[in-house]
Structure 1
Amino acid sequence: MTQFTIFDETSAPADSKPILRSVKARLGFIPNIMGELAASPSALDAYATLSAVFGRSGLTQIERNVVLLTTDFENNCGYCMAADSTIALNTGLDREIVVAIREGRVIQSDARLEALHQFTRAMVRERGLVERHDIDAFLRAGFTKANVLDVVTGVTLKTMSNYTNHIAETELDDSFAPMAWSKPLLQHAD
């Protein structure tokens, strides 16, 4: 295990302290991933900034949740899947959809969200080298070319935290523990 210090707003490097104070004011606590990222003020700032930028994208909150959860699944990140599942449920994503993504299944109840789910999966699996038919299917579902780039932004955001959690073996916060997750061994056929 690679040990990473989990900083708080008092122990972090000076340039990380204001960001951690802001996170704590907004959430009521500092998630372990943010405390770890604080070791590098530039990494913490990049993550916080990209998160805010993705929040202003052309995707709805529900759609952003689908992108984040799908990326967590594809990158096999237990920490982020637990955290993002908790947040998704608290911001209105239907539990059935959260469960489908967590289990690697098709979203049966919403064709538009399933198109987003499939496009995000292709984006992560193919490292951005998606096929024209993937983009066409996404656009046919009512998304725009700008939304293609919104998905790239969300995948980038999650890949940063997923990789950090893999390296640091981030301990799950108590707030996210009820949604603890590990990738299913047998995935359902798509």
Structure 2
Amino acid sequence: MGLFGLVFVGKSFPVDASQVAQISQTNWVLDVTQSVTPAYTDLKEICLFLTSPASLDQSCALGLYVSCGGGDWQYRGCVTASRPSDVFPTAWPTGEDAVAGGARIGVSIEPRAELEHKEAARLGKKEEFAKRVALDLFRYLESFNQGGGHVAQISNDHLVVPANFLDRWFTKFQHKFRRDPDFLTRQTEKA
């Protein structure tokens, strides 16, 4: 049994250790295009887990990376002896070169401190996204106060909005997000 295992979430099959090629003492690569039955673009999430958490040194972590078309490896997450499994989005790189060259998953043993730094950056992006969603909701609430066609009242310095305002905002948010999933990340904050 190897140090780790992989399972594609929702596809109900683990990746056999024999399918993952060890290319160095600390690096493994899975050629997803040749090893996995469904199209790699259908594989949205992957679980990385340690088969024996005690076998990984406390100062190390196992990093998960993806690459398409022979492009650069892109970090997706890590597991440690204290957090021996996690599920990560594959978020395959896109573009003509990516599709033509197939897809690979890389696993690497690295110093825990380095991967924790990468992990903080990854989580920071999620926090920034959450902040932008909250800002979108705030701007929607502001529209009630600015006579944007919504029914609202100001009472004792409080904005009173319709009871279904969250449902209305979320419906509007979904429509914008489906039209343009990157609209939040392109917005710039108002000064």
Q: Same fold (TM over 0.5)?
A: no
Quick one: higher RCO (CA 8 Å, sep 6+), 1 or 2? 1
Shorter-chain-normalised TM-score: which range?
under 0.3
Q: Which has the larger radius of gyration?
A: 2
TM-score, normalised via structure 2 length: 0.21
More strand by share: 2
Q: Greater helix share, 1 or 2? A: 1
TM-score (norm 1): 0.21
